[in-house]
Chains A and B, each alone.
Chain A
Amino acid sequence: MDFSLSIIVEAWPTFEAGLITTVIFCSVAGVLGLVLAVPIALAQLSRSWSWRVPAQVLVEIVRDTPFLVQVFVIYFVFPATGVPMSSTVAGILALTIHGAVYFSESIRGAILSVPRGQVDAARAAGMSYPLTLRRIVFPQMMGYVLPPIGNQIVGLIKDSAVLSIISVPELSMAFQNVLGTTFAAPEAFVAVAVLYWLLTSAVTLAMSRLERLTPTHRSTEEMTSLLAKVDR
């Protein structure tokens, strides 16, 4: 079998451009998604149904339909209703909404993981709900929220490959281009797999660093239950 690294070297500019596009799309969508995820999670936990119901509807729609279909809907349905849509905007929008919904589920779970007594103590001291979230709940939920968020960022990177279907020039698109011009299937396959793996490994590494930075002034019982959750 012929396996020629020089083919990968020659096609590198194409791969590099794709990789950069993937990183940019995922970074923008990741950050926007995280920012949007907090209000979605809080709306789902709201006592008032006028907040809860719209958030739940959004979460269900996004969770219960394939990402590919979501991309199509945003890219093809919006222009049909008169909203102009480029593949870049559609790609980032789809990835952001997708990320926000999955992040929000992790954040909601993490908020609920903070023991009820911690919130009771804050409210009993006269702290408002927003103040309680900011001072008590958010700092304590970091240990619960970082592991699933890390997994979801990795998921986001892998899902971004779908955007090649609407011609976003990201890594999978670059791979298809290389494949089309060189006809060197094994080399291109290996190259694209390794590049995705490097990207997701970097995220995983960064997240575990971040986890180690969060305060671990927890009781041993809490740590044990926390580790049990991470294992699952």
Chain B
Amino acid sequence: MTPPPIIRVRNLHKWFGDAHVLKGIDLEVKAGEKVCIMGPSGSGKSTLLRCLNFLEESSKGIVLLDDHPVGYIEDADGKRRRDSEANINRLRARMGMVFQSFNLWTHMTAAANIMEAPIHVGGLSRQAADEKARKLLKLVGLEDKKDAYPARLSGGQQQRIAIARALAMDPEVMLFDEPTSALDPELVGEVLAVMSELARGGMTMIVVTHDMGFARAVADRIVFMDHGQVVEEAPPSVFFEQPKNERTIQFLAKISSRPF
């Protein structure tokens, strides 16, 4: 028996003014599955990811986390209404998010960044949160940076702390928005190593990435987007070796011929 999908996206649309950036996305992600979303810039990958936890409000369609609609609730005749803020916050806390530019809170130490949501959203005691931060810092290999402020950390270290922070609420799904795109090349490896470790632990992961090596090694499935649509969906072996769609073939040719 296959596990039920934990994330379901149905006919999702997004307009920014006149720009139609998501044109009816359908997507299902099963618990424990690792899905990489790839595609040229402007294809709507990041917008789709941000719609999953309602950082971006979709214009039409629905996102379900474990059968709970996120942000907008659809009634019987298909009309959408906004969910209560409290419900939206509760659902968001069940998804961890990692950003391209890390977005660590600059006025807090690494440990304080990790402890913030568990204490103020999860209601954890300071002591329990401290214990949790310690464990997570160990997981990402930065126990010695507990008291460092983000400005004192390298990009790779900041992103590993950001991953630890996103894990602090024990999320059911982790969302990664181009987690290595802002990093110097020599720092990409340490972040991907933490992500691979996470994948081995069985975490459900949705990763927007340009990193073919990571996608090939870790993904169960590649979702290829272009012009706001899902163009091709396939396991990495099929996606990289026998792509079917013309636009996928062009995209792969472009990124694999990139000089290093």
At the interface, yes or no: B117 with Cβ under 8 Å from chain A? yes
Interface segment out of the listed B98-106, B125-133, B232-240 = B98-106
- CA–CA, A143 and B151, complex, Å: 16
B244 contacts the other chain (CB 8 A): no
Residue pairs across A and B with CB atoms within 8 Å: the count is: 78
Q: Is A121 within 8 A of B106, CB to CB?
A: no
A219 touches B151 (CB 8 A): yes
The residues in A between 203 and 221 inclusive whose CB is less than 8 angstroms from any CB of B are 215, 217-220
**What size tier do the contact residues of chain A reach?**
20 to 34
Task: Tell me, yes or no, whether A117 is within 8 Å of chain B by CB.
Answer: yes
Quick check: is A16 within 8 A (CB to CB) of the other chain? no
The digit string for B80-92, where 1 denotes a CB below 8 A from any CB of A, is 0000011001101
- With both beta carbons as reference points, the residue of chain A lying nearest to B97 in the complex is identified as A124
Tell me if A230 is interfacial: C-beta within 8 Å of chain B. no
B99 touches A117 (CB 8 A): yes
A27: min CB distance to chain B, Å: 29
The reply on B29 being an interface residue by CB < 8 A is: no
Q: Which of B85, B116, B151 contacts A125 (CB 8 A)?
A: B116
With an 8 A cutoff between CB atoms, is B55 at the interface? yes
Most buried by A among B86, B92, B96: B92
Instruction: Report the bound CA distance from A123 to B95 in whole Å.
Output: 11
Complexed CA–CA distance, A222 and B166 (Å):
24
From B89, B116, B149, A217 is in contact (CB under 8 Å) with B149
Instruction: Give the distance in Å from the alpha carbon of A124 to the alpha carbon of B90 in the complex.
Output: 10
Q: Are A117 and B106 in contact (CB under 8 A)?
A: no
8 A–B pairs (Cβ distance < 8 Å), ordered by A: A118-B103, A121-B97, A121-B99, A124-B97, A125-B97, A131-B121, A136-B105, A219-B106
Q: 12 new A-B pairs (CB below 8 Å) besides A120-B99, A125-B92? A: A117-B99, A118-B106, A121-B105, A121-B162, A124-B95, A126-B94, A131-B121, A140-B106, A217-B107, A217-B150, A217-B151, A219-B150
Question: 3 tightest CB-CB pairs across the interface, nearest first?
Answer: A126-B93, A117-B103, A125-B117
